[in-house]
Structure 1
Amino acid sequence: MLGPPRHPCFDPSGLSRTADLRRVGIEPSRGGWRQVRTGVWLPEESAAALTPVDLHAALVHATMRTHRAGESVTFAAESAAAVLGIPRIRAWPGTVRHLVTRRGVSGSSVLRPLLGAETGAIRVHGLLVTPPARTVVDLARYGALEDAVTAADYCLRHAMCTRDDLAAELALVPRRARGRASAATAVAIADGSSMSPGESFSRVLMFRLLIPRPRLQVSFTDADGLIGDVDFWWEGAVGEFDGRTKYRIPPGASHEEAGRVLWAEKKREDRLRRQTQVARWVWANLLSPNQLLAILADKGVRPERRSTWLDRDDQSGVA
């Protein structure tokens, strides 16, 4: 088994069981604690600071704390992703999935079985989870393409797996198995140059809308030197997803500091506009794909008659 990933993921050390808290004179239901699931709590201050991925990871860890002692469990799909710190687009579920290799295994109101082939699990903070490449393929087979591509991009970017790992995991899925086509598509369009879930989601929508496949993180320069890397590039236009971290405003920054950052971004865009068209969009535009379509069309980026995202090998894999 491999060690834990080398990037931040939820630390379960703050979780406490009801019985343990009461043993030291703490009644968590009276305040100051948040119940993660029945019988397992986090300090309210800690829970309030958690991201959505960490909240689901906390649920996974809490589920294991209440599971039958001595029984081996390998968490899978979105539950493995959360423990590994991998983000997603859709809301995190209120259930936990674990891998089973035979039919007839019953679940519970929280713990749900996912039928699949055996895999070499890795251990993260004491939990066994499917490795990143397998997790990506399972997400694609049983979930939404945007979540799978977001996961694949993240894993590639953080060197949690390679493209060869993804291809090898895909090759283990029988040709006519459920979700194989979706998994093949996710693997084909995954790109570790994508820098955020918003950029990953944008690309999935571009794929669905038949927008030509862009190049990512292309560098622009002018007479004054480096302008910077753009999120998306087509001949004659660039695209920028404006996420919350786009402007790199430090937490707690003053109005003056934030203003300097925004002014620098405006000057950067002015330099870009002297060379090419610049399309910008925000998260709300992604929730209404026709808005993204209109924003890109306004800058000359329009749908193709047929998708050119997948080469022939990719297309044979999704048939």
Structure 2
Amino acid sequence: MLGPPRHPPFDPSWLRRTADLRREGTEPSRGGWRQVRVGVWLPTDTDATLSVVDRHAALVHATALSHSSGDRLEFARESAAAVWGMPRITPWPRIVRHLVTRRGVSGSSVLRPYLGGEAECSVVHGLRVTSPARTVVDLARTGTLEDGVAAADHCLRHRLCTAEQLSAELALVAPRAPGRTRARAVLELADGLSMSPGESLSRVQMFRLRIPRPRLQVGVFDTAGHIGDVDFWWEGVVGEFDGHTKYRLPPGVSHEEAGRVLWSEKKREDRLRRQVEVARWVWADLVRPQRLLTILGEKGIRPERRSTWIDRAHRSGSV
């Protein structure tokens, strides 16, 4: 299952330099433009449509434009993730990371070196960035478990890389290198059937709470046929993330069409509840994991005495 279409990477053609705009008779500081970095601007109407990942990607591209050797920089970690369009759970940083393989490389208030091993880079919209697999492993080693899993899920779902490529990148990391244990955990938890960052965070919190590992995107049927694929499945219980958006309406629909969509969704929900117990939660329940624990406990899904999510041979240290 491929899941929803992948959001295309940020298009840097929207960015303009101050000098170029002024040559055309436009003074960006007078309105209609947002300064992404000193000397690089973005139209405000375009800026208003950007996602949070696009905003960081814009900063990365603007940094390359304003740097004397921007075409030779190799962007890594969060910066590479944004250029690839990978999601993130925690806030995006206000700095840009580029890969260096030796110590002593200075940085600036925005552009910071990341010391790491040599990487085979890809070119995305003119920028040199670490490969998706290398980016995921770097994120997993240096960041949070939830950010690593969200990025890994996204890459597997959209076939930016394979599980084998992720494992091969991890194998290049020295056994006692900082963050290797967390990176191993990310690879163990990653699943290309996860359809959104919210589902990724749900699984991370289930792992931390020692909730039994669910199956993902399981089809539920009744005598009338296929009801739908559910986010999480335990025997006799399904879990659905983001209950407050279960009645999704396409933009611009008429009142009549909206009514038909809502009625169809209600009938689906009724059919589902006649077959299984249904647990629903929203983002606020995930950032307060005890809420998720309560929601699942009310449906009979309770913590295991010992987590079975990760092979014990790989368990060492905190993740």
* Smaller-chain TM-score bracket: over 0.9
Q: Render the CA deviation track for 1:63-100: whole Å, top value 9, x for unaligned.
A: 00010147621100110010001111111111111111
Q: Render the CA deviation track for 1:230-275: whole Å, top value 9, x for unaligned.
A: 0000112100002676544212223433332232222112111112
What residue identity is the alignment partner of 1:153? D
Map of 1:77-116 to 2, 5 A cutoff? 77-116=77-116
CA contact (8 A) 2:64 2:71 kept: no
1:144 aligned to 2:144?
yes
Map of 1:7-22 to 2, 5 A cutoff? 8-22=8-22
Task: After TM superposition, give the deviation of residue 191 of structure 1 in Å.
Answer: 0.1
Aligned residue in 2 for 1:257: 257
Task: After TM superposition, give the deviation of residue 152 of structure 1 in Å.
Answer: 0.3
What residue identity is the alignment partner of 1:35? Q
CA contact (8 A) 2:98 2:111 kept: yes
SS at match of 1:25: coil
1:318 and 1:287 mapped to 2: Cα distance? 19
Aligned residue in 2 for 1:54: 54
CA contact (8 A) 1:198 1:243 kept: no
2:126 and 2:282 mapped to 1: Cα distance? 38
What residue identity is the alignment partner of 2:11? D
1:59 and 1:243 mapped to 2: Cα distance? 33
CA contact (8 A) 1:96 1:111 kept: yes
- TM-score between both structures, scaled by the size of structure 2: 0.94
1:84 and 1:245 mapped to 2: Cα distance? 27
Aligned length: 314
Aligned residue in 2 for 1:3: none
Unaligned regions of 5+ residues in structure 2, if any? 1-5
CA contact (8 A) 1:210 1:303 kept: yes
Unaligned regions of 5+ residues in structure 1, if any? 1-5
What residue identity is the alignment partner of 1:238? V
Aligned residue in 1 for 2:242: 242
SS at match of 2:300: coil
What residue identity is the alignment partner of 2:223? A
Aligned residue in 2 for 1:292: 292
Greater mean alpha carbon deviation, residues 307-316 or residues 216-225: 307-316
1:201 aligned to 2:196?
no
CA contact (8 A) 1:141 1:178 kept: yes
2:46 and 2:70 mapped to 1: Cα distance? 29
CA contact (8 A) 1:188 1:314 kept: no
SS at match of 1:211: coil
Map of 1:1-319 to 2, 5 A cutoff? 8-69=8-69, 72-242=72-242, 246-315=246-315
